[in-house]
Structure formats: structure tokens, C-alpha cells
Structure 1
Amino acid sequence: MGTTTNKQRILIVGQHYWPETFRITDIAEGLVERGYEVEVLCGTPNYPAGKFFEGYGFFKRKREIRNGVRITRVPEIPRGNNSNFRIGLNFISFPFFALFYVPFFLFKKYDRVIAYQLSPVFMSLPAILLAKIKRKPLFFYVCDFWPHSLFSIVNIKSPFLRGLITKISYWHYRRSDGIIGVFKGMQERFISEVGIDKEKTLYIPQAPEKIYETKANDSDIKARFSKTFNIVFAGNINPAQCFDVITQAAKIVREESSVDIRYIILGDGMSRRWLEKEVKKLNLEKHFVFEGLKPVTEVPKYQSIADATIVALSKSPLFEYGIPAKVYSYMPAGKPIVAAMDGEGQRLINEYAKCGICVDSGDINGLAYAILKLTRASKKSRNAMGESGRSYYFKHFEREHNLTRFIEFTINDNRIPDTEYPDN
């Protein structure tokens, strides 16, 4: 199920792709593994640091093949210092330049067009246009549900502007023949707010790349952190991650405990400079270690030396029925998760998988005492939490299972049941 003997051709359109670390890369390569021909139209990699990756540029390295996927890159204005102005230019530049590439794709044969949509929603415009002209089915794979993801970060008070952005966003979604949301809450809003028929929607969790399912060791990393209690964060450093909660909790933990803790930060993003300054202001330099942006192949090596992993998220109605991708990538590591978030993510950690301790979003004291509780727990107890999360992951979120569901819905036109997973 989910494999093919015919060489169906799939076009994926989205601003972000390898070497940027987004899940769509693994999906595209998974489709190639299953026998499909895949081409990607994407931007020039510069996320999250804001400068082009080595070897890439405005007019450099525009076409390449990686693991069987044909990649065409359009110029885009990099995010630079991640100011609102530069991010705005970056948002506009991809769909603008991609529209000029549309004519080059009109003479190619595709069976399906898939729009990979993060922020902003209008990164999907080239996909809409291509599918319309070529009269091919268009499917959306939505990671950021607009306008709600925008409103959760940017406080737009004008009713007129909020209404206009909502209409524009929903117009994009209504162009699709089918739409996948990575949160259960997204799927429900596609139906109730956007007005899309239920059978044209599907919820598929963001399963991490296969590499996260392996356990790796690195002697140098192990030696560096052999005498400390290690809490690992891996991902983008941005406002949604609530590092103010993590740093304030770390300050309380330092005052309440003599345990030598290291918060190992893997990643980069628009809030990194703020975070480094905040760590210095709170005199936490000894406890926070910034390792920078790492390829996904390196992350399991750090998770192997972790005593726990950590995530803290801002309040958002989407999280009531959704689980952040970061949690999925933590679970197969077999380490307990300490978290501050609401909704389904909290229920997963505390009730379903029983793989750590999760308090409410924004609860600084609660997060601090959750960390303290883990430091005081026996290694056997922590290992039991971690293994519970790992086994739950393989039962409900494993990559091949979710890839098959993706194929059945977007390519084979099968309307499949929604994922249910409350049991352990």
C-alpha cells in the first residue's frame, strides 16, 4: 500500500527545502523511495540565520539533484538580521520570483501539485497558478495555518486588517482539491471556518526524519558533557519557543539546586541574539551552551547524552488540538521531555505516552519545579519515561506509516480515516 509501479510525477512547491531543515525534504525523498518522480520548486536557502548557505546565492546553484529529487531554486531576498522589514521582504520575494519560473514548468508533465505551506500563506501562489494552468489536482500540506499563526505572533488590532488577511488566507486554502494539516486543530478549522468538506481534509502528524529514530553516539560530545545534567533543545530559536520562560525557570533551578545543569541549545533563529543577551543578564552563561545550527544527522548524537529534552511554547488555540513537531523528534530519542505548553501536547506527554512532565504554557515556576523533579528522580525512573515515549512514537507516529497516509490521500485519492492515538 502506498507504493507505485507507474512513474507518476509530483511537483512540490514551497519556499523552504534542504539544506534548510524542514520536514518536506524527508517527504520528497520518501516519495522517490516509493517509486515516484519528484521535482521541487523552492527558494534559495537562508533560514534561519538570514544569510545564504555556503555555495548558494541569488543567482548561484539554481538547479541540482539530491537523493533522486530534482530541485529548482528561485532567487529570494535573504532574511538578513531577521528584522520585521527584512522578513517581510523575504516573504514577498519568493512568490514574486517564483511566478517568473512558472512558464518553465508549463511544458513539463506532472500528475499532482503539492503546496508546502509555512509562513506566509502566499508562498503557495505559484503552486495554485501551476495547478490551475495545467489542470492538475492541487493539495496543500499546511504547517502554519493562516491567519491564526500570524495573529499568535503579531498583535494586529485593526478589525479591517484582520478580516482582510483572513479572507486572503482562506482564498488560498479553497483553491485546493485536498488539504493536510499537521495539527488536529487545523483540520477542524479547515472544516468549520474555511468551509472545506471533511473528506477533503486530513490530519497527519509531522513525523521526523528517519535519522531521529536511530540512536547515535559521539565520544567527543559524550566527554564534554559527561559530568553534567544535560537538557537538550533542538530547533528554531524564535518567539513562539518562549525562551523567556525557559531562562527564568533555569534561574529558579540554579537557586534551588546544586545540580550542575547544562541547557544545550542546538539551532539558530531570529531570537538567538536576544536569548544570548538574556542568558548573560541572568548570569546563566555557565549553564547555557550554544552549539549553533546542526544538520539533522548530528542531533541524535546530542540527544544520546541528554538526561532530558525541553520545549516551551506560547499560548495558541492551534495547540489545543495539535502537537508541535519538536515533540515528535524528541520522543524516539528515548529521553524524558520537560515542557511548558497547553492542549494536546501536554496531554500526550502527561497522559497518553507518559514520557515526561508538562506544565501549562507560561508557567515559569511549574517548569522550574518540573526540571527539579527530573534532576531528583532516579536514572531508572527517567529511563522509563523516555522508553515509554519511544515505544509510543513507534506505535503511532512512525515515519513510514505517515508517509503511506500522505501518499494514499494526495496521490491515490483514497479518503482514509483520521489518526487516533489516545491509548498507550
Structure 2
Amino acid sequence: MLVVCQHFWPESFRINDICDFLGNKGCDIEVLCGLPNYPSGKFPEGYGYFKNRRQVRGGVRIRRAFEIPRGSNTNFRIFLNYISFPFSSLFHIPRLLTKNFDKIFIYQLSPVIMSVAGIIVGKLKKTETTMYVLDLWPENLYSVLNIRSPFLRSIARSVSHWHYRHVDKLVVLSEKMKAQMLEITGKSADNIIVLPQACEKIYEAEDHDDNLRKRFSKGFNIVYTGNISPAQSFETVIEAAVFLKNEGLHDINWIIVGDGMSRKWLEAEVTKAGLQDIFYFEGQKPVEDIPKYTDIADVLLGCLVKSNLLEATIPAKVMSYLASGKPMVLAMDGEVHDLINNTIRCGYAGPTEDTSQLARNILKVYSLSTAERKQMGKRGKDYHFKHFERSLLLNKLHDFIFK
């Protein structure tokens, strides 16, 4: 089986766990990926243009194409990063054509053009290709870059839709996204399934760190874990933090665990707003450390910008939060809104970019007793095990790929 994704171990993406699962199911896997540099923008120790281009991890063979690192995460460097992997991956096609893959699986993050080598190999070898669409393009592009030119939008739309039309089967995150894909591709409904992202088992673990508990033993802890990028609408978070501080709530700790292209901007905005005494930037952490942070959380936080694409998804962050068994407060629209507020009742989801509603929802959780918060989080964890548990979802993925 050939797996194509620009991002792979040692970067922390869920394709790592999917490959582990499929490998344990008996799949012989080769991964075509790029050089690790996300989210720091730098190659980690032991990696470079001429280092560790071929590796084996847990029986998975790894083939790394050339990739320009994201560097300081400027728009120009991200552009170079986005085009370097798809272009260089084309040079691996001749070698891949000498191999007999039964299936090709594309884990499609941004940019969509990371998929091109997998599509070409599938067409030339007449091998069935399945794409898991995590970032719907060009909508995801528009959530990060304000592209107004109708001409440029037309190009982005045509290129993106070409990739979706030229795979055999699609895996999407929601019914709304499935409806979009049916319209874009003209595929039969049997060739597109809805499958939320499975989170790693580690997120279900109850772990604690004595030092963290001591550092944040006083106050109400709001914990955010994940990427720090324009799509997360941290403007909304800062405005809510200012509002709550002005309301006299000085015991709230905003704990940000993660990194990304907007981190420096966010740190500057926090300082500008006079919030540096209540915001804590913990940086990028190994996935194994995340349960130590959810352990100290009174509530977990998630925000997104307004986007038709993002309304059509249940973000991976939400899946991890459910598994942790802690209540959550979200500023998100779409399917996740109804899921959290009505179906599970494990927190409060308000509209995207609605500062006042986000602040009010935080106040609701702040006002609850410890027992009430635990019960709210338990409802989320129970729902996770019933509907979103890793083996349940990944077995469905395996069966769809190989049916």
C-alpha cells in the first residue's frame, strides 16, 4: 500500500496513527512524504536535505521527497513549502511505478496539490486511490489568505477540484462536506463516506504532572491545544480575555499549548492588550504530554474563523477534547455546534468570532461546581467511546479502502 502525505513522523499528524493501525492489520506500507519541519519551520536534529531521506518506522518504509522548510512562517516561505513537496514528489514516480501497490491512500492536508504524485501513480498503474479530505480546498486556502481576485479564485478552484475528481474514493468529515463533494466530483454516494477523524488512544489517558499541577494550582485554567494559525481566530480569544479581566475575573489562566505561523503575532497581541500576566505559552509538546495539560484544565478551548468549509467539519481538536473527558467551550459554527450543545451536552459552542458569547460561555463553566464540570466532561468521554473510538473509526476506514 502506498500512502502519500506531505507530513509524517516525526511530525505529529494523525496519519502516523493510521499507518500504525493499518500496519497492525497486515498492510505492507510505503509512505511518500516530505522533510519534517512543521510547525517550527526548521528541520529537527538528524534531518536535512541529505539526512534520513529513507527510514523505516514500525515496519513502515518512509521515502522523503525534497521540501523547503516553512522557516519563519511568512506567506512567502509557506508558499515555497507548499509547492516544493508536490513538485519534488514527481521525481519519485518512476521508482514508485516499479512497485505493485494494491491500494493508494492519500491523507490530504494543505495544500491539496500534495496529492498529485499519488494520483498520477494510481492512474498509470490503474490502482484504486482513496483520499481522506481533511482540508477542503480552495475553501481552506481562503480561510488563511484573503484572496479577492476572481481570476485567482477560479484557478484555485479548478486546480483543487481536479484533484478530488481524479481519485476513486473519498473520505470526508461530515455530511455537509459529502454533499459538497458529490456536487464537485459527480461520484456515486457509495464512493464517498463520512468518517470523523479518530484521535490517538493517548488522549483517553488520565495523566498528571506534579510540576504542572503546582504551577497552575490557583485559578481557573482554560487550556488550548493545537495549531496557532489565522484559521483559529485568536482575535476572538484575546477580546474575550480582555472582557473577562475587565469584569473582575483575575484568576483565569489562559494556557496555550502548541505552535504555528501566528504564534509570534499572538504573543505580541497578548502583550499589547496587557494580558501577559495571565497567558502562558507552553510551545509545541509531544502528543504524549497533552494529557498532562488536559488534566489541569477546568475547560478546553477551541475557536475558528467564519468559513463555509469549517462549518462542514468536526475539527480534530474537538475529537481529542471529547476523549479527554473535560468540558469545552468553542466558538465554532456548523455541525459541531449542535453536537456539543444538544447531542452530547459536554460544553458550550457559540458562533464563530462572537467575543461576547465566548466570554459568556466561559462564565457558565466558571460558575459550575467541580462535580458539575466533571459530569459535563464525562458525557463527552462516554460519547467518544460509543461513537468516535479509534478502533471503531479506523476499522471503518480500513474496510472502505479495501472493499
TM-score by length of 2: 0.97
What RMSD in Å do the two structures reach over aligned CA positions?
1.2
Map Cα deviations across residues 252-282 of structure 1 (whole Å, 9 max, x no partner): 1112133511111111000000000011011
**Which residue does 1:365 correspond to in 2?**
356
**Which residue does 1:397 correspond to in 2?**
388
The Cα of 1:166 is off from its aligned counterpart by 1.3
**Which residue does 2:2 correspond to in 1?**
11
Map Cα deviations across residues 32-56 of structure 1 (whole Å, 9 max, x no partner): 1111111111000111111112211
Q: How many residues align?
A: 403
Map Cα deviations across residues 118-170 of structure 1 (whole Å, 9 max, x no partner): 11111111101111222211111111111111123322222222222212211
**Which residue does 1:268 correspond to in 2?**
259
- For residues 193 and 307 of structure 2, what CA distance do their matches in structure 1 show? 21
The Cα of 1:103 is off from its aligned counterpart by 1.7
Q: Does 1:141 align with 2:127?
A: no
The correspondence for 2:179, drawn from 167, 181, 188, is: 188
Letter in 2 for 1:389: G
Q: Does 1:43 align with 2:48?
A: no
Distance of aligned partners of 1:314 and 1:388 in 2 relative to their CA distance in 1, 3 Å threshold: same
The Cα of 1:182 is off from its aligned counterpart by 2.2
Letter in 2 for 1:55: G
The correspondence for 2:161, drawn from 157, 170, 178, is: 170
- Where 2:288 maps in the other structure, the secondary structure is coil
Map Cα deviations across residues 207-258 of structure 1 (whole Å, 9 max, x no partner): 1111112111122211211122111111000001011100110111112133
Kept in 2: contact 1:183–1:319 (CA 8 A): no
Q: Does 1:72 align with 2:63?
A: yes
Where do 5+ consecutive residues of structure 1 fail to align?
A: 1-9, 414-424
**Which residue does 1:250 correspond to in 2?**
241
**Which residue does 2:377 correspond to in 1?**
386
Kept in 1: contact 2:236–2:353 (CA 8 A): yes
Letter in 1 for 2:299: A
Letter in 1 for 2:244: V
Further displaced range: 68-77 or 158-167: 158-167
Letter in 2 for 1:361: T
The Cα of 1:84 is off from its aligned counterpart by 1.1
- For residues 318 and 77 of structure 1, what CA distance do their matches in structure 2 show? 28
Kept in 2: contact 1:319–1:344 (CA 8 A): no
The correspondence for 2:273, drawn from 268, 279, 282, is: 282
**Which residue does 2:215 correspond to in 1?**
224
**Which residue does 1:107 correspond to in 2?**
98
Where do 5+ consecutive residues of structure 2 fail to align?
A: none
**Which residue does 1:416 correspond to in 2?**
none
Letter in 1 for 2:172: G
**Which residue does 1:27 correspond to in 2?**
18
Q: Please show how residues 83-122 of structure 1 align to structure 2 within 5 Å.
A: 83-122=74-113
- For residues 75 and 361 of structure 1, what CA distance do their matches in structure 2 show? 37
**Which residue does 1:334 correspond to in 2?**
325
Letter in 2 for 1:284: L
**Which residue does 1:310 correspond to in 2?**
301
- For residues 69 and 183 of structure 1, what CA distance do their matches in structure 2 show? 29
Further displaced range: 313-322 or 390-399: 313-322
Letter in 2 for 1:63: R
- Where 1:270 maps in the other structure, the secondary structure is coil
- For residues 183 and 59 of structure 1, what CA distance do their matches in structure 2 show? 40
- Where 1:41 maps in the other structure, the secondary structure is strand
Kept in 1: contact 2:223–2:294 (CA 8 A): yes
Kept in 1: contact 2:41–2:70 (CA 8 A): yes
Q: Which has the higher helix share?
A: 2
% same residue: 49
- For residues 348 and 177 of structure 2, what CA distance do their matches in structure 1 show? 25
- Where 1:351 maps in the other structure, the secondary structure is helix
**Which residue does 1:157 correspond to in 2?**
148
- For residues 113 and 338 of structure 1, what CA distance do their matches in structure 2 show? 38
- For residues 365 and 214 of structure 1, what CA distance do their matches in structure 2 show? 33
**Which residue does 2:291 correspond to in 1?**
300
Further displaced range: 368-377 or 202-211: 368-377
Kept in 2: contact 1:139–1:176 (CA 8 A): yes
Map Cα deviations across residues 91-125 of structure 1 (whole Å, 9 max, x no partner): 11001111111222222221101111111111111
Further displaced range: 389-398 or 58-67: 58-67
Kept in 2: contact 1:232–1:263 (CA 8 A): yes
Q: Does 1:344 align with 2:339?
A: no
- For residues 124 and 55 of structure 1, what CA distance do their matches in structure 2 show? 26
Kept in 2: contact 1:336–1:356 (CA 8 A): yes
Q: Does 1:127 align with 2:114?
A: no
Map Cα deviations across residues 49-79 of structure 1 (whole Å, 9 max, x no partner): 1111221111111111222211111121001
The Cα of 1:205 is off from its aligned counterpart by 0.2
The Cα of 1:86 is off from its aligned counterpart by 0.7
Runs of 4+ in 1 over 4 A off after TM superposition: none
Map Cα deviations across residues 314-344 of structure 1 (whole Å, 9 max, x no partner): 1111233321110001111111101111111
